[in-house]
Amino acid sequence: MFLRHSFFTLLWICVAFTADAQQVTAPVDYVNPFVGTTNFGTCNPGAITPWGMMSVSPFNVMGSDANTYDKDARWWSTPYDHTNSFFTGFSHVNLSGVGCPELGGLLLMPTQGKLEVDYAKYGSQYKQETASPGYYSTYLTHYNILAEATATPRVGVSRFTFPAGESNLILNLGASLSNETGAYMRWMPNGDLQGMRMMGTFCYHADAVFPIYFVMRVNKAPQAKGYWKKQPELKGVEAEWDVNSGKRKIYSNYHRDIAGDDIGAWLTYQTKANETVEVSIAVSFVSIENARLNLEQELHQASFETIRSEARAAWNKELSKIKVEGGTKANKEVFYTALYHALLHPNVLNDVNGDYITMGQKSVGHMAKGDRYTVFSLWDTYRNLHQLLTLVYPERQMDMVHSMLGMYKENGWLPKWELYSQETYTMEGDPAIPVLVDTWKKGLRDFDIHEAYQAMRKGAFTPGKENPLRPDNDAYMRLGYVPLTERYDNSVSHALEYYVADYALATLAEELGEKEDAKILYKRSLGYANYFSKADRMMRPKLADGTFFTPFNSLEGADFEPCAGFHEGTAWNYAYYVPHDIPRLIKRIGGQKKFVAQLQQVFDKGWYDPANEPNIAYPYLFSRCKGEEWRTQKEVKRLLDRYFTTKPDGIPGNDDAGTMSTWAIFSMMGIYPDCPGVPMYTVTSPVFDKITIELNQNYYSKDKLVIEKTSKKKDGFIRRVSLQGKKAGFRISHHDLLEAGSLQLSY
């Protein structure tokens, strides 16, 4: 009896343990790729690996149905919006969270029935969308086709499950988000399709043009295949049939090259019910040969399910470097989805053999070790994303620093907004400086700091006519500010960015013994005083003669309207953007009481823009005033609850290559790097009871950093901040935080 009882007790324990184990959710399971796919978030739910070159996204921005499609989708800055419902294929290589259209090409579409090559006619409504890191699927209702996608770092793999009948695959090289056109392709004897498509002019920068090379491989031979071309039929090539009243020609003769602005390839099958066809598309920015090498080495003849499993495992490995405990399921979904978005850009540029294209598409470089990165949206990411990488993924950040310095060697200048080895010079400032200084000051020193200093100094001291980073540097160096020269210019925004960069560079110059440079740069960093109006207690545009621009409307520029002196924001969104000199700004405004009242007014009156980078650190400024730290905690919680959710509109605007998501990540962990280039964090109340960050011991002495709530009171405000049990303030240095290894917050 005892044995029987013990057996069933043991069995019950095993069953209960198994049930609990099944309920354990890995970090990857909390990610919802549909977050940020509308409300101008410009994220997409497609398949990608961490920092991957390849992403495979559903493309639905050509319209909601065949009667209302957009004839030109290039005004969209994303391949996918959750509110749309007309699928026109999987696009390969896409940007996430950016505000200008680019890439989104190599459109692969499955269809059934008579071949049609006009996307307005061959597109389909869809249902039953699912997405998880490294995987996407949807059901095309017009054709009864299941479309799935997964990816390796450089290869996209699609699987289509067809019904019985005549089925087609279409690769459209004519449509994309890019302003550029022009493509080439050729069927190879082994059945592969290879070619090239031009991309570029991101944010209308005419010189930023580049090719993307591809090789496409299908796992089953078709009954027929060929090309189409929108231009008139080429002499000597017989058309099998015409569509669109002769505007497009479809060719069955495929033993030749084809090129043009609107070309494509097609394959036709006689499929059985539920027959699957898999398509792999590898890319390279160097050559077709390298694209083929990427295909061969990354696929290693693996099945779709194996590639999907490997992508999921890669994501779980990176996401698991931060473990959170406590909080709700929704909190975890917001957090890990934000972390997912933060690990998309910058992304790998080099091929599997280490080759990459150098700046300006001038030559082929080679990485002997590490990776070369691209998509440096630095005006956004210099504020917090690179600080996150430095803390949690320092090996990646070091490769990115090496990439930035490599760009300097190749191009003569540090990057500003680099895209696939082309500099677009989008947005303001000299944002590479705070990134490099911040990285060095936090102990990541596997680079030549003297070479880096000269690169940064060049941007800071070169006259404007010769300076693409600071085109208005002459006036800035002479007057201490950039004067307003046109009714709607960005002069104040330019200068405020320069002040931040010059302060960071001044601190490094001092450390390196460059005393004279340090003196000049530090003085420049205080030049914001030229813009400060005592009457308005804020920054105002200023003319070259030293007078303030009038009439002045502090709310001009809301909702991206044109504005005198400020870019994508009002004077209120820039009023406190001198993070390196907040104590002196507080005095200028009239002391802590007036500063706090004026700052609180920004939140109370709705003047704070949660999607505007210059003001995203505003909530943390309350903590610069002793006794007002509770306001930081209150506003951060309110902003997180209101603007960051698990819904498709769960990001307040453009994610800006992960910048907005990173704001949420740091804020939910309870620390925020509120001054770029200065290795400090401001403390707020974390969403979770305990956060454990895995540290890379190649860079840090401790193996982990633990942030933990040690006691609670009803009002939820922090009473005591401690580093490994020793009392600390609400601003903590990076060095002290990591040396302690634990941050305790008592309520």
Report the 3 state secondary structure along 86-130: CECCEEECCCCCCCCCCCCEEEEEEEECCCCCCHHHHCECEEEEE
- Judge whether residue 160 has pLDDT over 50: yes
Q: Does the pTM exceed 0.75?
A: yes
Residue 252: predicted pLDDT: 61
d(CA 722, CA 729) in angstroms, rounded, equals 8
Sign of the torsion angle spanned by Cα atoms 570, 571, 572, 577 = positive
- 597-641 pLDDT tens trace: 999 999 999 999 999 999 999 999 999 999 999 999 999 999 999
Which architecture characterizes domain 27-316 according to CATH? Distorted Sandwich (2.70)
- Judge whether residue 515 has pLDDT over 60: yes
Q: Which residues are paired to 217 by β-bridges?
A: 280
Enumerate residues 6+ apart whose C-beta is below 8 A from 441. Answer: 507, 508, 677, 678, 679, 734
Asked if residues 152 and 310 have their Cβ atoms less than 8 Å apart, the reply is: yes
Q: For the chain, what are the domain ranges?
A: 27-316, 320-746
Domain 320-746 in the same topology as domain 27-316:
no
1-8 contacts at long range (C-beta below 8 A, 24 or more positions apart)? none
- 176-196 pLDDT tens trace: 999 898 999 999 999 999 999
- Judge whether residue 248 has pLDDT over 90: no
- Judge whether residue 83 has pLDDT over 80: yes
- Least Cα distance to 526 among 498, 486, 485 occurs for 498
- 301-331 pLDDT tens trace: 899 999 999 999 999 999 999 999 999 999 9
Burial 585-623 (b: 16+ CB within 10 A, else e): bbebbeebeebbebbeebbeeebbbbbbbbbbbbbbbbb
Residue 53: predicted pLDDT: 98
Residue 246: predicted pLDDT: 41
Residue 560: predicted pLDDT: 83
- Judge whether residue 205 has pLDDT over 90: no
Residue 82: predicted pLDDT: 96
Q: Which residues are paired to 469 by β-bridges?
A: none
Residue 235: predicted pLDDT: 38
- 411-462 pLDDT tens trace: 999 999 999 999 999 999 999 999 999 999 999 999 999 999 999 999 999 9
Asked if residues 165 and 275 have their Cβ atoms less than 8 Å apart, the reply is: no
- Judge whether residue 408 has pLDDT over 50: yes
Name the percent of the chain lying above pLDDT 70: 92
- 260-309 pLDDT tens trace: 999 999 999 999 999 999 999 999 999 999 999 999 999 988 999 999 99
Enumerate residues 6+ apart whose C-beta is below 8 A from 322. Answer: 27, 339, 392, 665, 669, 691, 692, 693, 694
Which architecture characterizes domain 320-746 according to CATH? 2-Layer Sandwich (3.30)
Query: What token pair was written down for 432?
Result: 């590479």
Average pLDDT taken over every residue of the chain? 92
